[in-house]
Amino acid sequence: MADLRCPMCGKSNPPQSEVCQYCQARLKPLVAPPSTENEPEPSSDSEDLFPAKDDALPNWLDGLRENDEPRTESQEEQADEDGVETWSSEEEQRLSSAFTFSSEEASDTDEDWLARLTGDQEHQPEDQAPLQDEPAESSASAAFLDIDEVAGDESSSEWLAEFQTSSLGLEETSETSLPSDDQGEEVVTEGDRPHWLDLIRSQQQKESELTAPMSSQDEDLEGNQIWGDKPVDKEGESDWLSDIGMEEGEGELTIDSKDLPDWLVESGAFRPESPVESEQAFPGWLAESDLPEDEPAPEAGEDLPDWIAASPAAGSGEINKPRQDLPDWLSNVSEQEVDQSGLPEPVESGEGEDFSAEEEGGLPDWLTKLDATAGEQTPGRGVPALILDEDEEAFAAPGVDELETQTDEDISTVPDWLTQVAAQEDVVEGAAPLDGEAEPDLATAQLPSWLQAMRPVESAAPSAPAAKEKDKVVEKVGPLAGLAGVLPAEPEFVHLSKPKSSLVKLQVTDNQQTHITLLENLLAEEGQAKPVPARSAITSQYFLRLLIALVVFISVIAPLWLNRQLLPLPEPAGVSTEVYDFSQTLAGLPSGAPILVAFDYEPSFSGELEALAAATVAEAVGRGAQLVMISTNPTGPLLAERLMTTRMADVNPGYVNLGYIPGGAAGLLAFAQTPRDLNPFDLQGTRVWEVAPLASVNSVSDFALVMVLTENPDTARSWIEQVQPALGAAGKPMLMVLSAQAEPMVRPYYETNPKQVNGMISGLAGGAAFESISGMEGVARLYWDAFGTGLVIAAALMLLGGIASLVLALISKPDTSEGKGAL
Amino acid sequence: MRTPISTAVAILVGLLILLGYFIPLEPLLSLRVMLLQWAVILAAFALLVGVVNLFRVHWIKVKTGQPAGFYSFVLIVALGLTLAIVGYYGPTSAPSVWIFSYIQVPVESSLMALLTIVLAYAGVRLLHRRLNALSIVFLLTVLVVLLGTAPLLFIGEAPVLNLIRDLIVQIPAVAGARGLLLGIALGAIATGLRILMGADRPYGG
Amino acid sequence: MSLADLNSDLIGAFVGFVLTILVFSYILGDNPLFRLSLHIFIGVAVGFSAVMVFYNVILYQLVVPFWQDPLGSLHLLVPLLAGIWLLVTKASPRLAPFGSPPMAYLVGAGAATAIGGAVLGTVFPQAGASATLLDFRSAQAVGLDAGAYFMRGLIVLVGTVTTLLYFYYGTRARQDRSAERSRWIQDMGQVGLVFIAITFGVLFAGVYAAALTALIERMNFLIDFLIPLIATI
């Protein structure tokens, strides 16, 4: 059982397979042809060219199929169903490959079948002489029209070559010049089928063993050559159309002239030297043409299609000999010139060819360029299969100049047979025939099943019938302008339009709607300013605060007013160690030694720290120390001045006020390393570093000690971190005079080993202790009674308040479910 | 201009100063001193920026006639007079000390004195607001320290109270304070390293 | 003391008395007089700061050195120009973004200073002090017996560690479980919270003591002003 050859890729497949194993194309047609006697049932998936026999086929076309050699059963059945003499399996495959080159770029227009007729170059029999002298790559082969046997002059063969190369807007090239009028000859065949077609059939049988696998080149119109390289393996082997395009005297076909149509003979492409088998595989398109079997060949100029009548060649009377069994277009082609230079060159798709631009239903270019190519026989040029329009300049292969001269006028009308074929397709697909474009002369015929099977099966076969011709959008741009039903040149998204707005109603339940309403109300309330309820100026807490203030004021004013000094100062023996160390450090100052005193406290704490500063500074002055004042606070120098001018006015010690160091810790670090550069002058503008006591001071470690007065724990920490390392390295002490609030955070520095803070006094209690140790009476003594009284009163108030809160909490706890702060 | 340059400046300056802590090379120390001096000068200009900004804010309030415009006018007048007098006579002159002693110190000291009433009121209401173990511990500590700081009226020194106060201040308070100091130092190290690595850019870069 | 000095002191005292009363009026509630005194104080304080900066830095660290030794003070051009740049850009909201480099300089210098000081001035010494808390050899230096010193050191050590653990929030990633601290860290943190509460109590007492001292000073001032006045009247 012979293998099935895929019409798409040309590869062999098992005979029982429905789909090609390589390219997944249907091997058997899907559409069943109309049932006729002895007609093989068509395979619905097959893309066979001859799926079924159509009653509309003329007998001569049908007969072509009957002379086929034994083929596969499926093919046999198809052939029987078609009632047409089908080609051999190889021929059919070749033909099908020609027709199924691609389903992407070309729609199933009327020109599809024309393009498929040409088939694949590679399917040409190797022994076929090329129609042109050029290598295979430049020539297109007629896959099925092996008309080597068909006699005819070169001009006659050109039109057939053009059949091959015409791919309905494909990359056909070149010299699709039609046979010249002088060369066109018609072959007269007996009966209904032209004999020349029988000759073709016989030739195809010879090539049945030599058919090369179908290449996919024919199918891919966008990226590959349509025709591919002409498989000219042997000398003299060429397509029959190659022979047609040959120059005179070269590769002449030995075909009996009796069997050839007149127009073919007259074209000179065929030499009636060898008989041509009467039974030739005939293309289905010819078999299914709507031409009546006995349709006489039209007289020249009589009922000519417009596209032929418009041809200047038509008026030459070249094709005048009537043929009863020829379709009109065939009978009128004799006056057309055929480029005998050979088959048209394959067109590189890389040149920007758009084969979908072929006008639908329009005259094939090869037919319309009859006069353009009249008499032109460029050596080495293939038979032009497609006469390109001016707009289709990009499609032209190199060297196909004559095709570019085609004007729009030559392809202004659609041949009848093309429109009728399209109508048949519509009928088969469920679409309405081309009513508007159908010619009155030809009746609309249904697409035969085998032709239907030839249509490329799309992966997603549309279930719905195609739109009617009248409903299709008429292309307005590009080479296919004027055609309907073509793929748009411009994507749809180019035509911007406002999309249809569709209202999507969200399904909301009642519960959700309730929540939505609630949320909306909440959000609306947020934007509205709620009226603040008027607050009473006098509340219980107000009276409590007044009471507390009164009590505290009395506790402070009374001792001050009375000035009884009832409370004793701390005993010197009972003072804390840090106060003792502070006192001892001060006592160890050498006389006249410069000491650095940092006034880094705020004016708000001047009441507490001035009392301490007065005592400590006085003690230091009493030890003969030279005071050098500095501050990292802008008000520090002023505090130092205030202290020295008020509290120390009686002593009137000499001092140097270096002023202010900005920058915080960075300034302290800079001062610790180079105090001369940082503060070269004092606040009066005097160069103090040149005179005593600063003449011998180059760094902070040169001071006898550093005493920092601050209420801020962070300031104290900065001094300890930035300055104390230098002091500690030099063995110089650092003393702290702190506010009571800073003492807890500075004490850890005092309790290190070695001590970072050598001594400190904190708060009025520390000042009092220091005064007690020093034996002086200072501000601390003055404030001591009020201070003690105030502390006790405050403690008592807090204790009473705490007790009251506890009692209230205990009383209210059994009454309320929520306690005010659980223990 | 901003982000890469600012970040590079911060990182470069920071690294040079930080290296001086650990690498006692003379050129590095000299460079470090110069950089620190420049930082001191820039910090002074930063303080002036604050002064200018304060003046601009209150000037706008006066100019636009806002409800607190009168107070802003008073502030601007006080600022101007202080700048004029202290700037003319000098920061350590008698007029400067007079203004400082009889205007700034009284106001600030009075504000600090008001804190006594506020703190006493807060102490009285402490347990009423939040009654829990920690609040009680806190209040007891306050009471012990307050009562142990000075001699009691009509009682005098209370040795037990003083001892307890000393123990609290010298042991648990030191422990807590040391933990806080270590935490603050570690946080400062982490923050500083983030700045020197460019992870944090508080300077607007 | 001359009559002028007495008069100035008297006037100053009167001004101080008035301002003190105005501030104490806040006990009765917020009022315009209190706000007036407050704004006067702010103006004066800012003025003092500006003048001090001008004198101490701009005049004595930039102008005078340039005047006396221009060549030797060329290195001061950099901070001068940068400072002017900072002043101009930060004074205007529109130009504020362009003042980032000088601010970055300050931030970088401050960060490095903070790191060095924290490491060398706090972490190392405090950690060393915590490590030697249980050193019996230091007991004599402190004047305590070994047992008392040991207990004291132990409490301080436990308090220090638990206080640090209270602020520790590091957790280990666990699958299907929320990020939580381990149980023992939470328990130790609660112990540290007690030490923190004690420390804050001491701080509160210290603040009150400082405020009380300020009140005493103000009261004393008022008394010293009023008594002679009353006596005069």
pLDDT in tens, A231-247: 444 444 445 545 444 44
Contact A552 C215 (CB under 8 A): yes
Lowest-pLDDT range of A298-307, A649-658, C121-130? A298-307
**Chains that contact B by 3+ CB pairs under 8 Å?**
A, C
Task: Please state the pTM of the whole predicted model.
Answer: 0.61
Q: Which two tokens stand for residue A701?
A: 């470690």
Is residue C178 scored above 50 in pLDDT?
Answer: yes
Residues C128-148 have a mean pLDDT of 79
Which chain C residues have a beta carbon less than 8 Å from that of B37? 79
Rounded Cα–Cα distance for residues A417 and A415 (Å): 5
Q: Are A154 and A245 in contact (CB under 8 A)?
A: yes
pLDDT in tens, A135-149: 444 444 444 444 444
Residues B145-160 have a mean pLDDT of 85
Domain boundaries, chain B: 1-89
- Closest to A138 (Cα-Cα) out of A355, A402, A385, A380: A380
Residues A189-200 have a mean pLDDT of 64
A-facing residues of C in 173-202 (CB < 8 A) are 199, 202
> Between these two residues, A677 and C216, which has the higher pLDDT value?
C216
Lowest-pLDDT range of A351-355, A614-618, C42-46? A351-355
Contact C216 A751 (CB under 8 A): no
Output the pLDDT for position A492: 63
Is residue A810 scored above 50 in pLDDT?
Answer: yes
pLDDT in tens, C72-101: 888 889 999 999 999 999 888 888 888 889
Which chain B residues have a beta carbon less than 8 Å from that of A567? 150-151, 153, 156
Lowest-pLDDT range of A107-111, A569-573, C98-102? A107-111
Option in A683, A784, A804 nearest B90 (CB)? A683
Output the pLDDT for position A530: 75
Is residue A636 scored above 90 in pLDDT?
Answer: yes
* Block residue for tokens 């494909």: A170
Q: Which two tokens stand for residue A623?
A: 């030890």
User: Quick one: residue B200, left, alpha or beta (phi over 0 = left, psi -120 to 50 = alpha)?
Assistant: beta
Lowest-pLDDT range of A465-479, A512-526, A585-599? A465-479
pLDDT in tens, B39-82: 999 999 999 999 999 999 999 999 999 888 999 999 999 999 99
DSSP-derived secondary structure for A66-117:
HTPPP--HHHHHHHHHHTSB---HHHHHHHHHHHTS-SSS--S-TTHHHHHH
User: With b meaning 16 or more CB within 10 Å and e meaning fewer, what string describes A668-685?
Assistant: bbbbbbbbebbbbbbbee
Is residue A151 scored above 80 in pLDDT?
Answer: no
Which chain A residues have a beta carbon less than 8 Å from that of C209? 740-741, 763-765, 787, 791
Is residue A654 scored above 90 in pLDDT?
Answer: no
Output the pLDDT for position A515: 92
Which chain B residues have a beta carbon less than 8 Å from that of A566? 153
> Between these two residues, A348 and B181, which has the higher pLDDT value?
B181
Rounded Cα–Cα distance for residues C17 and C230 (Å): 14
Average model confidence (pLDDT) across chain A: 68
Rounded to the nearest angstrom, the minimum Cα separation between A224 and chain B is 55
Residues A630-641 have a mean pLDDT of 94
Is residue A553 scored above 80 in pLDDT?
Answer: yes
Element (H, E) at C117: helix C100-117
Is residue A302 scored above 60 in pLDDT?
Answer: no
Q: Which two tokens stand for residue A489?
A: 């040149």
pLDDT in tens, B100-116: 999 999 999 999 999 99
DSSP state of A238: B
* Block residue for tokens 């249809």: A500
Option in C113, C163, C210 nearest B180 (CB)? C163
Q: Which of A102-116, A169-183, B120-134 has the highest mean pLDDT?
A: B120-134
Rounded Cα–Cα distance for residues A318 and A762 (Å): 132
Residues A510-532 have a mean pLDDT of 86
DSSP state of C70: T
Q: Hey, how many other C-beta atoms are within 10 angstroms of the C-beta on B63?
A: 10
Rounded to the nearest angstrom, the minimum Cα separation between B116 and chain A is 8
Residues A771-795 have a mean pLDDT of 90
How buried is residue C91: exposed, middle or buried, by Cβ count under 10 Å (0-12/13-18/19+)? middle
DSSP state of A133: S
Residues A311-322 have a mean pLDDT of 45
Chain A interface includes B7 (CB < 8 A) = no
Output the pLDDT for position A179: 41
Rounded to the nearest angstrom, the minimum Cα separation between B203 and chain C is 5
Output the pLDDT for position C1: 59
Lowest-pLDDT range of A409-413, A429-433, B88-92, C50-54? A429-433
Q: Is the peptide bond before A51 cis (omega within 30 degrees of 0)?
A: no
Is residue B90 scored above 80 in pLDDT?
Answer: yes
DSSP state of A521: H
Output the pLDDT for position A635: 94
* Block residue for tokens 């982000």: B3
Output the pLDDT for position B3: 74
Lowest-pLDDT range of A4-8, A433-437, A597-601, C142-146? A433-437
Rounded to the nearest angstrom, the minimum Cα separation between C210 and chain A is 6
Contact B196 C196 (CB under 8 A): no
Rounded Cα–Cα distance for residues A113 and A445 (Å): 15
**Side chain identity at A796, as an amino acid letter?**
A
Which chain B residues have a beta carbon less than 8 Å from that of C7? none
Residues A700-723 have a mean pLDDT of 95
Q: Is the peptide bond before B27 cis (omega within 30 degrees of 0)?
A: no
Output the pLDDT for position A646: 86
